[in-house]
Structure 1
Amino acid sequence: MSFENILVNNNEGLATIIINRPKKLNALNKATIAELHTAFDTLNKDTNTKVIIITGSEQKAFVAGADISEFADFSVEEGGKLAANGQEQLFDFVENLSTPVIAAVNGFALGGGLELAMSCHFRVASDNAKMGLPEVSLGVIPGYGGTQRLPQLVGKGKAMELIMTAGMMSAEEAKACGLVNYVVAQEELLPLAEKLAGKIMRNSSVAIGAAIKAVNANFEDGTNGYEVEIAEFGNCFGTEDFKEGTTAFLEKRKADFPGK
């Protein structure tokens, strides 16, 4: 895959997406969002891709926010469409991928950048990372799911504080409140993400996709997460991965999952 604003590498089932707009601190514009959608969609449809890592180019920023110049003069209607289209095209799309997505947060993850990281299935960060939702300092609110996902991850009170103060938290603060799982030195960030990806890749990709669906169901209005879990649990019994996993366990050998 060839893109203008992102780089995509796929090595033996582990794909890495690098947002590559360093002069703009990897800010998200419409073109980058469209490219990210295409990359995620293509990788997710490739059954050989088992895990996706997303990060930013260089060391200053994961994504320092949205490209404000694109929407500074938008009307009310245009602003609403911007948020709706972005959520559908990228942020909700990533959250509901059946392929696990790890955000490797290097440097600034602000506004849309933090919203992108939060849409991933979990996050690891470098010790120089700074995270926040500064939108109210511009007279607007987070529009790519930030007001919903941040409270889910850190609790309502902390989310309210971060959103209303437009403040930034350090990587260690983010870890303490559950926003990121691990904090390491910059040079250790991608190796850690790859190590975690390797652990994931040893397991059933079919079961992992079912688990993602069941966990996400708990946060969907009008959806009974327990019922989704029961259905997905039952569906697993009809997969080749279940047959291989249980057979391998009984035969005391390592499972070789076909991914079906």
Structure 2
Amino acid sequence: MSGPLAVEVEGGIATLRLQRPPMNALNVELQEALRAAAEEVSERRDVAAVVIYGGEKVFAAGADIKEMEHMSYTDMVARSRRLQSAFTAIARIPKPTVAAITGYALGGGCELAMTCDFRVAARNAKLGQPEILLGVIPGAGGTQRLTRLVGPAKAKDLVFSGRFVPADEALAIGLVDEVVDQEHGEDVYAAARARVERYVGGPAFALRAAKEAIDRGLEVDLDTGLEIESMQFASLFATKDREIGMRSFVENGPGKAVFEGA
């Protein structure tokens, strides 16, 4: 093991593998490693999609409380924006992303999972935002991304109580997108890869534009969102993949285009 995070690329899919045992606590070093990895996979042309995986036993059980315990208000003022921006860097990877969740995804771990486009969880996984039990609130996007995923009432329930949510409930409320019956970690990882493999070989700039339009559109009013969509739509007429896709459709019907990612 070298460092708290490994970046592995195979078959067009990058895996960001958390490796800070025993619980993958998200200390400052790991936060900065996530930021650097997000930049790397965003720029690599051999990466079409990204999986974030904590290993067979745990995704990430939260922030490193021992590291935070003695921080002052001024310490956290200086650190909190770096914490949020590290997670935002993951959220803004311009490619499909999925979290493969085993064991616990709590606090910062749950917030990290929510930065992804999709979440696949083991049947025995537990998710939650237990910061209230420490006398604080989520600080890496939990109050915002959780609300957008499950709605304000459910988000308040989870944040106010700090309770752990089992995988089946997480699926029912929209916190995860798939539950894997097998509890072996590699099965969860395989299911997460399968969810994004379909995008490998796809029109990279169109996928990027779709993600940008959806994510940015959530932050603004409908008219502004429609303008974002219109601009992204028009911009794709400068890509080679748009030419390939439309020509293939006319000549061969839908779903047969071989894109170049250009």
TM-score (norm 1): 0.94
Cα deviations by residue, 1:88-127 (Å, 9 ceiling, x for unpaired): 1x21111111122111111100000000000111111111
> Is residue 2:158 matched to residue 1:165?
no
Q: How many residues get paired?
A: 256
SS of 2:252 mapped into structure 1:
coil
Alignment of 1:110-129 (within 5 A): 110-129=106-125
Taking only aligned residues, the RMSD between alpha carbons, in angstroms, comes to 1.5
Alignment of 1:1-260 (within 5 A): 3-23=2-22, 25-59=23-57, 61-88=58-85, 90-184=86-180, 185-187=182-184, 188-221=187-220, 224-252=224-252, 254-260=256-262
Alpha-carbon distance in structure 1 between the residues aligned to 2:16 and 2:118: 15
**Deviation of residue 221 (structure 1)?**
4.8
Residue pair 2:202, 2:261 contacting (<8 A) in 1 also:
no
Query: Which amino acid in the other structure matches residue 33 of structure 1?
Result: Q
Cα deviations by residue, 1:29-80 (Å, 9 ceiling, x for unpaired): 0111111111121111011100010010232x10000001111111212222
SS of 1:143 mapped into structure 2:
coil
Residue pair 2:48, 2:95 contacting (<8 A) in 1 also:
yes
Residue pair 1:22, 1:57 contacting (<8 A) in 2 also:
no
Alpha-carbon distance in structure 1 between the residues aligned to 2:228 and 2:9: 32
SS of 1:16 mapped into structure 2:
strand
Runs of 5+ in structure 1 lacking a partner?
none
Query: Which amino acid in the other structure matches residue 236 of structure 2?
Result: C
Identity between Structure 1 and Structure 2 (%): 38
**Deviation of residue 200 (structure 1)?**
1.6
Residue pair 1:21, 1:57 contacting (<8 A) in 2 also:
no
Alpha-carbon distance in structure 2 between the residues aligned to 1:139 and 1:221: 32
